[in-house]
Homo-oligomer: A and B are copies of this chain.
């Protein structure tokens, strides 16, 4: 039976997550399928920023380090995030940017496996993870090497030489979801440590770090968690490693007595050691607004809707866009799929630009991938229909084939 727009209207009517869309502001008429790159703005974001700027900064000034809890915000936000990723209180902290946290965690892990030299990573991963580890091992100069393995090759790549397995849970380009439990188990069987990057899974699906016995993890908060552009990253360190795992970017926020102003570094024996220094507070505070929405949502409902939306999107591509050279890059199996659908297309760049001009926002990743992210808190079922419908119009009319859609800016 062929799907119609009415089917999608009906799905929205019975969607238990539908009321959450009211918590976000998106331009009228826009179908926003890029929350996997930059999450939409919660309506409460500006009010929180205003409170931090006018009251906490403008009026209370330095008192706010105590009074507004600025100094401990990194742990408070960590504890909220912990509930979304299967971690316990005190195991998660906010700090710095994703890449820096990859560096910290892999450095800490290598330090715990001094006799091993191999780090297993995915060569096609979002490159900053690889770059940071390349920088680290060059700097260490002790003969470490990265063993690159793609999906399907990873379990075999994990042997007794491996110190660390550092993988991104959901692939940024294809949306492929790794089997965290199986890979972590294999790593631990051979005595390796795991570092999981949750940039494309935290807030997108129910991550279960402690259920999988993960050692270390990190993720970003400006995609599925709607923290605002470039909002801080978080790190997870399993409690069993506290006081043993130590990262080398040893700033005063990770000191055992930060306000003692001692000359020499003495590490905290808990998650706070993974913090380095003063965080940009306005951005940090705003990220709590996105998290607080998640505190009221049911992650299993989010996952259910995400799979339903991506299933429907894939079905519509097959039903309505046959013959235009699209093929699906994202796995069809639910347990292999994140919360996005990626499509190969030779003309992916101009088609995506035409689609954006038609107010369906996805993005393009070179050389040939069109990405569509599904964020069930604010993407409706009708959005799924409308996205495909507008894409169908573009393909039927050939309107994508214009010079204006072929001009690549510096940032895509």
**A residues in contact (CB < 8 Å) with B:** 25-27, 32, 34, 37-38, 40-41, 45-46, 49-50, 52-54, 56-59, 61-62, 64-66, 70-71, 96-100, 103, 107, 123-124, 126-128, 130-132, 134-136, 138-140, 148, 220, 222, 228-232, 248-252, 255, 259-265, 276-284, 286, 361, 363, 365-366, 409-412
Contacts of A231 in B (CB 8 A): 280
- Least CB separation from A107: chain B residue: B139
Contacts of A365 in B (CB 8 A): 261
A363 near B62 with CB under 8 A, answer: yes
A284 near B230 with CB under 8 A, answer: yes
- Least CB separation from A278: chain B residue: B230
For the complex formed, measure the closest distance between the CB of A94 and the CB atoms of chain B, giving whole angstroms: 11
Contacts of A40 in B (CB 8 A): 58, 61
Which of B34, B49, B124 makes the CB contact (< 8 A) with A61?
Answer: B34
Number of copies: 2
B411 near A259 with CB under 8 A, answer: yes
10 contacts between A and B (CB under 8 A): A34-B62, A46-B53, A62-B363, A70-B229, A70-B230, A127-B261, A138-B248, A229-B282, A260-B366, A281-B283
A66 near B249 with CB under 8 A, answer: no
Q: Contacts A61-B32, A100-B100 hold; do A411 and B66 have CB atoms under 8 A apart?
A: yes
- Least CB separation from A64: chain B residue: B229
A-B pairs with lowest CB-CB distance, top 8? A280-B283, A135-B250, A99-B251, A99-B277, A229-B281, A41-B58, A97-B277, A128-B252
- Least CB separation from A410: chain B residue: B66
Which of B127, B148, B255 makes the CB contact (< 8 A) with A255?
Answer: B127
